[in-house]
């Protein structure tokens, strides 16, 4: 029972006994989530020893079941020779992902342990930005010169069948003098005579993407074309790799997750509780320390109107409601803008169009929400003027909130500032300050009737 409830305890025992076969068999029986949980309970020495007990291939499979950031830290703790053996078993894009995020000295030590050809490919891959076609592509693909014959290709496939099992063999590509020529249709390959040259059956109108195409462009490409993958070429028409649809979707999901975490103040986009405490505290404080200053600025508005608030104490009940409801409306608009930016369906210069669309929604929602809170204030205090004050304040603040929420991410994107990280604090501060200002100003105008 303890093995099922606390798998790390069993793994710890087997690591101490150096029982590699038992560990491998046990890990194979666990679900991926259980593997990740078990690894999180091991200290750095135990994790390093665990990887050293497994074969490089098994260790690479284990890495796949672990959250990416934790896997990165584990590989950094392993000696360069063992880490290189594990990385050798990974796909090319995964190799580049890990090595590009490692400390430069550690990454160089690992790359130096790889075979020369593999090391050169990795060095080229880590030069690409992670969210471009070059950063997402794999280099495990099949390409043959157009001068080769069908017989040569079929023979090559048969002789290397074991190696090619690891490839995503949906397409075979054709090159001419190492430049991309087109795609080889499997049907044409199988039905053509052995002495037929590839140049006579290659499909030359195949679509490609450039290696510097950003994530947004790739999303648009795959939304338009129902392809399993697309060949990646550089500016010289050289075939560099293949971007798979599933890898693009994973990158898209990671970006959305990162943006969500950053809107919550997790600077860097990902945090695990196994990370160093001081690092976690520093990353959170970098956002919280700014946010407390912004909140002080918002609270200063109340200080200016403290006499009005003292005269109509019922307003104290509605101030947080008005600021919170407006903030929620604004954050909905922020979320939509971040999503559309990530999908590439809106551009930073389209602020006017986005503003008009958000004002329309804000006006409707503002009237409905303002009416509801106004009616609640009227029924509670029996004062219709109090209802008008809080209702109109919420309506106007909602319109402003969605206007800002929709356009701030686009504005920040134009300034090369991370919109996911900065939009939330700006929006919260403005909606709080404006909500307090509108409510207390209207109340001051109608003080005698309240």
Q: Which domains does the chain have, with CATH numbers?
A: 2-127 (1.25.60.10), 143-245 (3.10.580.10), 277-449 (1.10.357.20)
pLDDT at 37: 79
Helix (H/G/I), strand (E/B), else coil: 235: coil
pTM, full prediction: 0.63
Tokens of 139: 């280099």
DSSP string for residues in 340-395: HHHHTSS-TT-HHHHHHHHHHHHHHHHHHHHHHHHHHHHHHHS-HHHHHHHHHHHH
Task: Report the 10 Å Cβ neighbour count for 253.
Answer: 10
pLDDT in tens, the chain (450 residues): 445 557 888 889 889 888 988 998 998 888 877 888 788 888 888 888 998 899 999 999 988 888 777 888 888 888 999 999 999 999 898 999 899 888 888 899 999 999 999 999 999 999 999 889 999 999 999 999 999 999 999 999 999 888 887 776 678 999 999 899 999 988 888 899 999 999 999 999 899 999 999 988 999 899 999 999 999 999 999 999 999 999 998 888 777 666 665 555 555 555 555 556 666 666 566 666 666 777 777 778 878 888 887 778 888 889 989 988 998 898 889 888 887 887 667 888 889 999 999 999 999 999 999 999 999 999 998 999 999 999 999 999 999 999 999 999 899 888 877 776 667 778 888 888 898 899 999 998 988 887
Tokens of 313: 């104490």
pLDDT at 1: 40
DSSP assignment, residue 206?
A: -
Tokens of 395: 């309506």
* Distance, CA of 24 to chain centre: 31
Cβ contact 374:388 at 8 Å? yes
Order of strands, sheet of 239-244, starting from the edge strand that comes earlier in the sequence: 209-210, 229-233, 239-244
Report in angstroms the alpha-carbon separations of 86 from 12, 183, 273, 441: 21, 32, 25, 65
pLDDT at 288: 62
Tokens of 183: 């795609």
pLDDT at 285: 64
DSSP assignment, residue 140?
A: -
Cβ contact 241:139 at 8 Å? yes
pLDDT at 89: 92
Q: Minimal CA–CA distance to 329: which of 363, 356, 354, 287?
A: 363
Q: How many helices (H) and strands (E) does the chain have?
A: 23, 6
pLDDT at 2: 45
Q: Report d(CA 97, CA 108) in Å as an integer.
A: 14
Helix (H/G/I), strand (E/B), else coil: 224: helix
Cβ partners under 8 Å of residue 97, min gap 6: 68, 130
């Amino acid at each position: 029972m303890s093995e099922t409830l606390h798998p790390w305890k069993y793994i710890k025992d087997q690591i101490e006994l150096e029982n590699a076969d038992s560990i491998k068999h046990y890990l194979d029986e666990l679900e991926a989530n259980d593997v990740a949980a078990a690894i999180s309970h091991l200290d750095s020495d135990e994790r390093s020893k665990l990887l050293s007990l497994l074969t490089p291939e098994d260790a690479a499979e284990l890495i796949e079941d672990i959250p990416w950031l934790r896997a990165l830290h584990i590989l950094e703790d392993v000696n360069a020779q063992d880490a290189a053996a594990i990385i050798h078993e990974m796909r090319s894009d995964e190799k580049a992902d890990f090595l590009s995020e490692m400390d430069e000295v550690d990454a160089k030590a690992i790359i130096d342990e790889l075979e020369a050809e593999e090391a050169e490919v990795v060095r080229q891959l880590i030069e690409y930005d992670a969210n471009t076609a070059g950063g997402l592509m794999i280099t495990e693909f099949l390409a043959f010169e157009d001068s080769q014959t069908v017989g040569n290709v079929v023979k090559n496939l048969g002789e290397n069948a074991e190696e090619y099992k690891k490839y995503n063999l949906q397409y075979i590509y054709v090159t001419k003098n190492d430049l991309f020529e087109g795609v080889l249709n499997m049907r044409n390959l199988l039905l053509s005579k052995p002495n037929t040259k590839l140049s006579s059956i290659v499909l030359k109108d195949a679509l490609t993407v450039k290696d510097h195409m950003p994530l947004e462009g790739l999303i648009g490409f795959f939304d338009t074309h129902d392809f399993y993958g697309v060949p990646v070429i550089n500016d010289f028409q050289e075939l560099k790799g293949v971007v798979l649809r599933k890898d693009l979707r994973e990158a898209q999901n990671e970006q959305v997750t990162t943006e969500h975490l950053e809107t919550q103040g997790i600077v860097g986009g990902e945090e695990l509780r196994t990370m160093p405490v001081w690092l976690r505290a520093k990353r959170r404080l970098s956002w919280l320390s700014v946010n407390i200053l912004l909140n002080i600025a918002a609270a200063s508005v109340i200080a200016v109107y403290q006499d009005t608030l003292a005269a109509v104490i019922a307003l104290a009940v509605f101030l947080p409601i008005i600021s919170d409801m407006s903030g929620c409306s604004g954050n909905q608009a922020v979320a939509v803008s971040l999503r559309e930016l990530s999908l590439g369906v809106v551009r930073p210069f389209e602020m006017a169009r986005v503003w008009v669309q958000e004002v329309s929604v804000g006006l409707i929602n503002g009237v409905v929400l303002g009416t509801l809170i106004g009616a609640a204030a009227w029924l509670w205090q029996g004062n219709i003027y109090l209802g008008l004050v809080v209702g109109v304040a919420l309506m106007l603040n909602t319109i402003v909130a969605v206007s800002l929420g929709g356009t701030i991410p686009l504005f920040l994107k134009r300034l090369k500032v991370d919109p996911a990280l900065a939009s939330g604090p700006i929006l919260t501060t403005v909606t709080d300050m404006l909500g307090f200002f509108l409510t207390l100003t209207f109340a001051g105008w109608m003080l005698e009737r309240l």
